[in-house]
Structure 1
Amino acid sequence: MSYNDWDQQQQYGNAWGDQSSFSYDMGSPDFGAEQQFQSFDYNQAASAPPPQGPPPTTNYYASSQQPTFFTPGPSIMTPGPNPENPIPGDSIEDEPPLLEELGINPDAILQKTLTVLNPMRRTDPVILQDTDLAGPLAFCLAFGSFLLLSGKAQFGYIYGIGLLGCISMYGLLNMMSMAGVSLGVVVSILGYCLLPMVALAGVNVLLSLQGIVGMLLTGAAILWCSFSASKLFVTGLSMDHQQPLLAYPCALLYAVFALLTIF
């Protein structure tokens, strides 16, 4: 049957009657190929029982080994992570806290701050070996901010004098101690012990320290800072009966910060 005959059958209805088989010739130049339809028995298909069970599924990827643009590979159908069976270490709960990733230990910061505020407090020597610089940096910024509120922009002097004092104390402690000490530990302890000087700079915002009361507060702040620093060095480095020898250079360092605060 040619293409024109098939077109006539579609226009005039059942012109072909109950014919059980037919062929479809697409040999014209418009198509360039011949298509043969298989025979189909309409009476048998009408009397056949309906199929049982679920409809069969077709595997579209079994017939082609190489994925193409129209039949992509099975990687697109790959299932994502199962929330009921998560991969170990792939959960948000298993990730460490942000402060721990940044190397900031709030527990150690609190313990060192309480030790500076109460020099008579017993401190674990292991905590003093921690080279934590978050607390000293915060105290230096607070000290400079209070001086700025008093009309003194001294950030450069604070960092310069602090660096020179830390290097000097580092050399002195390595000569006096048998175990030795790292520069990070020296910077951490001297930075934490700057807290009383920060409080003195805060008082200077409210009132002048160039009187009798100001001199007494300044002397008390210097003694507080030097006593706290020397006690921490002695405890951390096991330097028995050497606290007065360490308190003197610490007092000289914190006296320079007191001069910046007053004048």
Structure 2
Amino acid sequence: MLKNVHVHDEIQKFSEYYDEYINEKFNGDNIEYFNAQAYNNNTKTTDQTDELPLLEELEIYPEVILKRTIEILNPKNLLPEQSIEFINESDLVGPILFCLILATALFLSHKNLHFNFVYSFLMISCTMTFLLFNLMTPSNRFINFRTVASVLGYCLIPLVCLSIISIFYELKSFFGSILISFCVIWSSLAASRIFVLIIGDKNQQPLIAYPCFMAYSVITLLILF
């Protein structure tokens, strides 16, 4: 019994000595003693704070897609004297999304086409356009493949709208021909306008618009037939 009391007194003295040492060491500041549960909670809070949102981790930025979509659909951006604000970082999520919408619209309009066919054709178009534009531009104005795919994909928006209209309305008519021509010209002018700003030579816009017009015309044939 006396031994237990002696041990208890020793522990109490050690505790008082330890508290006094801590106060002298840290100038009497409030010290949060180490607690495993508190440490785990703080670690979890820090990890959750440092984690990026899921869309940012996947490099999907809805605000960027919406902004570029509005830029393509804005008629003022088709005028030569108007400048178009296209973000330097190329985005491929938007073009892939519009390709999916185009393939879905073609499927719903009873066209025997699949996404792999549409995707393959667009990849060939991007590759040919990439090679052609880099042959046309100076060596100090190199256009990478990602930029070409991003611009052609976003400028596909008018044709995507056309494919959605084809689900409910037969385009093999006079009004359909006018609508098709309007959408193809719109996409071609929008794409050529952006490429001209990237290249920096306004005099080449007709030459740049021609291959864009041909590529979008073929896509229109897919929608029509």
Q: 1:157 to 1:117 in 2, by over 3 A?
A: same
Identity, % of aligned pairs? Answer: 34
Q: SS at 1:241's partner residue? A: helix
2:133 is the counterpart of 1:173: yes
Which AA in structure 2 matches 1:230? S
Q: 1:185 to 1:52 in 2, by over 3 A?
A: same
1:235 positional shift? 1.6
Deviations 1:12-48 (A, max 9, x none): xxxxxxxxxxxxxxxxxxxxxxxxxxxxxxxxx7xx8
1:253 to 205, 215, 218: 215
- The 2-side partners of 1:115 and 1:239 are apart by 21
Higher helix proportion, which one?
A: 2
What's the TM-score, normalizing by structure 2? 0.76
Report the counterpart of residue 177 of structure 2 in structure 1: 215
1:123 positional shift? 2.8
Report the counterpart of residue 242 of structure 1 in structure 2: 204
Q: 1:182 to 1:119 in 2, by over 3 A?
A: farther
1:112 positional shift? 1.5
Q: Quick check: 1:222–1:254 contact (8 Å CA) kept in 2?
A: yes
Return the index of the structure with the highest Cα Rg. Answer: 1
- The 2-side partners of 1:148 and 1:124 are apart by 34
1:230 to 166, 189, 192: 192
Q: 1:80 to 1:237 in 2, by over 3 A?
A: farther
Q: Quick check: 1:119–1:231 contact (8 Å CA) kept in 2?
A: no
Report the counterpart of residue 153 of structure 1 in structure 2: 112
2:163 to 196, 201, 205: 201
What's the TM-score, normalizing by structure 1? 0.66
Task: Structure 2 unaligned segments of length 5 or more: list them.
Answer: 12-33, 78-82
Q: SS at 2:147's partner residue? A: helix
Q: Quick check: 1:222–1:255 contact (8 Å CA) kept in 2?
A: yes
Q: SS at 1:136's partner residue? A: helix
Report the counterpart of residue 153 of structure 2 in structure 1: 191
1:98 to 40, 51, 54: 54
Which AA in structure 2 matches 1:200? L
Q: 1:82 to 1:230 in 2, by over 3 A?
A: same
* Higher relative contact order, structure no. (Cα contacts within 8 Å, ≥ 6 residues apart): 2
1:83 positional shift? 6.9
- The 2-side partners of 1:116 and 1:163 are apart by 21
Q: SS at 2:209's partner residue? A: helix
2:71 is the counterpart of 1:115: yes
Report the counterpart of residue 142 of structure 1 in structure 2: 101
- The 1-side partners of 2:134 and 2:174 are apart by 39
Q: 1:191 to 1:146 in 2, by over 3 A?
A: same
Which AA in structure 1 matches 2:39? N
Q: SS at 2:202's partner residue? A: coil
1:248 positional shift? 1.1
1:53 positional shift? 11
Which AA in structure 2 matches 1:130? E
Q: How many pairs are equivalent?
A: 194
- The 2-side partners of 1:216 and 1:78 are apart by 74
1:107 positional shift? 3.2
1:233 positional shift? 0.9
Q: Quick check: 1:119–1:227 contact (8 Å CA) kept in 2?
A: no
Alignment of 1:79-98 (within 5 A): 79-82=36-39, 86=42, 90-98=46-54
Q: Quick check: 2:71–2:85 contact (8 Å CA) kept in 1?
A: no
- The 1-side partners of 2:184 and 2:38 are apart by 60
- The 2-side partners of 1:262 and 1:131 are apart by 30
Alignment of 1:60-71 (within 5 A): none
Q: Quick check: 2:72–2:155 contact (8 Å CA) kept in 1?
A: yes
1:55 positional shift? 6.7
Which AA in structure 2 matches 1:215? S
